Chains A and B, each alone.
Chain A
Amino acid sequence: MKPEPRGNQAVKPIGLTHKQKNLIWIWIFLLPSIAAFLAFYLMPIITLIATGFTRWDGSRPPTYNGINNYVSLFNSVAFKKSIQNLLVWTLVAATVHVAYSVLIAVYLYKKPFGGRFVRVIYMVPNIIAPAAWAMIYRYFYNQDIGIVNHVVRIFSPGYSVPWLYVSPHAMVAVTMTWVFYGVVGTLIVLGDLMAIPAELHEAARIDGASDWKITRMINLPLCRISIGTNILLSINARITMYEMIRFTTRGGPINDTWNLPLILTDAINNSNYGYANAVGSIMFAFGLIVLIIINRALRMHESVY
């Protein structure tokens, strides 16, 4: 209605008609975003949750079938394996993946020789299409031309393993396609590190603290929120990981690397919409639960300073 007052500045008086006119404009400006929100977020989520409890093939209207979709999901081998994989990947994401990206942030913060170059190259995998990245990795693991086999052959001649198609290599191979790429996390932690006042470090140095001690006792605790964000981002990426599987193992061998997006997509392709939306609801719920747990554990809503 009126411009927001800033600081101690008085609000500029505006006539009533002007105010009303502004109010109309405000809602006109919001309208496209509200429409987008309703059509592409709110309605889909309502549909998702509601039709997760129905049998629905798309041609006939959905019919309520209670928790049947969920029961058959929890009884299916692919789903059990997917949940197991999601939990393993979540654990790897929250530990190894995040630790690696934080380590790089701590190193880059020290302004090492070539640090800028490292940053530039480290960003590249996050810029190109995940589908292309997955394809590149598929050839990396290729039995004939793949780098992985060739490197192992240096040490053990004759070594030849189709990494993506045998158990247990496939799970490791798929995990490797993301575990060393965490530039988003690195950059947000680096931003927090840069924001730490220099006096804190000087005070610690006077007290005789080593570099490692400063990092561990001062810097990392002060980056609590960005590290938490980092964990959330990494886990969310695991929930929605599709191309990395679709273009490498396709869930195989047998169902070693199966995951929820694959089940959901299969169900859509088979016009099994109720089932697909039950899977979608589970993905959504998993994300929310992770968010709540991380928020609590790292007290992310409390300010650091």
Chain B
Amino acid sequence: MKNSSHALSKSVMYAVLLFTVIVSGFPIMWVIMSSFKTNAQILSNPFSLPTGFIFSGYERAWKYCKFPTIYTNSFTIALSATFISLVIFSMAAYVIAKYQFKGRNLLYSLFVLTLLVPTMARAQPILRLIVGMNLYDTPLALILVYATTGMATCLFVLRATFMTIPLEFSEAAWLEGAGFIKTFLLINLPMAKSGLATAGTLLFLANWNEYYYAMLLTMKEVNRTVPFAITYFDNTFNFDYTSMFAALTLVIVPALIVYAIFQEQVAASLVASGVKG
């Protein structure tokens, strides 16, 4: 009796896990698979495996969606924003973690509370700010907005990392005559590598995937980012499913590559994105 119920609960578990793998993995598999099929094959049986590798969809997608441009834009914007975030928030996280000064807790709480503001709630004020700075429809607008979006989680992760670095290292540096900047740059920053990697991965993926502000703050085709370009897929492909799926594959592949390379950091960053202040 006990054994059979045990076996049952085990089969339920594996059924649920299998279901999870299917609902998470199959949609992407299906898109990639379909991108190598002809339109007729997609229409006749969406489940069938591709009979060969047809790259015509990719050729059309690459050309009509201007992937060279949108990849370049997305990479430049996502990387620059990530870099700026890491610089400014590691500086703040460092002094918050290592020094005592008036207003420290208040500042930290305020910074972390920014997490509570829904993304879109700030849309109109930020649009106005960007227009006022004369940055509307420029890559710099997105870089600025993205660089400040990850504030809470970034500070949270980096502060925790700096707190784990023993003070003795800084003290030894002071005895050697190192100043504030040197102690930060040469001693503490290199030791915070894991935290920087986690925060960096989190920020990069968020920036790379961001749609709303790209839609709100850019207009011209030359300034399009990859997620924003999806808006135009319908008009561009219009029932050319092969090219549509090829374009979608081109959209998701860079994120999958980042995931394949930085799997541990991605997992850590997902956990970090879930930790509330």
Contact = CB atoms under 8 A, between A and B. Distances in A.
A204 interface: no
Given A132-B251, A145-B43, A22 B122 contact: no
B231 to A, nearest CB: 8
Contact of B267 (A112, A115, A187): A187
A132 B248 contact: yes
Contacts of B160: none
A221 interface: no
B252 A33 contact: no
Contact of B248 (A43, A135, A145): A135
A184 interface: yes
A181 interface: yes
A293 interface: no
Contacts of B61: none
Given A26-B99, A36-B151, A136-B28, A43 B270 contact: no
Nearest to A120: B263
B110 A127 contact: no
Interface residues of A, number: 99
Contact of B101 (A1, A114, A181): A1
Interface string B119-131: 1111111111100
B181 A25 contact: yes
B100 A30 contact: no
Given A21-B180, A136-B248, A280-B121, A130 B211 contact: yes
A47 B121 contact: no
Interface stretch (B9-17, B51-59, B192-200): B9-17
A268 B211 contact: no
Nearest to A275: B124
**Binding site of B, secondary structure by majority: helix, strand, loop or mixed?**
helix
B156 interface: no
A48 B122 contact: yes
A125 B9 CA distance: 27
Interface stretch (A67-75, A77-85, A160-168, A226-234): A226-234
Contacts of A240: 118-120
Contacts of A247: 230
A41 interface: yes
B219 interface: no
Contacts of A26: 95, 99, 101
A92 interface: no
Nearest to A211: B9
Given A123-B270, A124-B28, A129-B252, A33 B17 contact: no
Contacts of B98: 3-4
Contact of A39 (B129, B184, B210): B129
Nearest to B241: A145
Interface string B154-168: 010000000000110
A214 interface: no
Interface residues of B, number: 99
A33 B275 contact: no
A135 B233 contact: yes
Query: Taking each of B14, B118, B241, B244, which has the highest tally of chain A beta carbons within 10 Å of its own beta carbon?
Result: B118
A188 interface: yes
Contact of A123 (B14, B117, B266): B266
B211 A131 contact: yes
Nearest to A137: B27
A4 B100 contact: yes
B114 interface: yes
B271 interface: yes
Interface in A1-33: 1-4, 6, 9, 12, 21-23, 25-26, 29-30, 32-33
Query: Taking each of B170, B273, B274, which has the highest tally of chain A beta carbons within 10 Å of its own beta carbon?
Result: B274
Contacts of A9: 167
B23 interface: yes
Contacts of A236: 118
Query: Taking each of A9, A21, A187, which has the highest tally of chain B beta carbons within 10 Å of its own beta carbon?
Result: A187
A145 B42 contact: yes
A34 B167 contact: no
Contacts of B266: 123, 127
Contact of A229 (B42, B256, B274): B274
A288 B92 CA distance: 26
Contacts of B230: 129, 131-132, 135, 247
B226 A129 contact: yes
Interface string B247-277: 0100110011011000100110011011110
A22 B227 contact: no
Given A1-B101, A236-B118, 4 more contacts: A4-B100, A12-B171, A123-B267, A135-B248
9 contacts: A3-B167, A23-B101, A37-B111, A131-B231, A147-B30, A184-B273, A211-B9, A242-B212, A261-B120
- Please name the 7 residue pairs, one residue from A and one from B, whose CB atoms are nearest each other, closest first: A44-B125, A280-B121, A129-B209, A33-B92, A32-B88, A44-B122, A29-B91
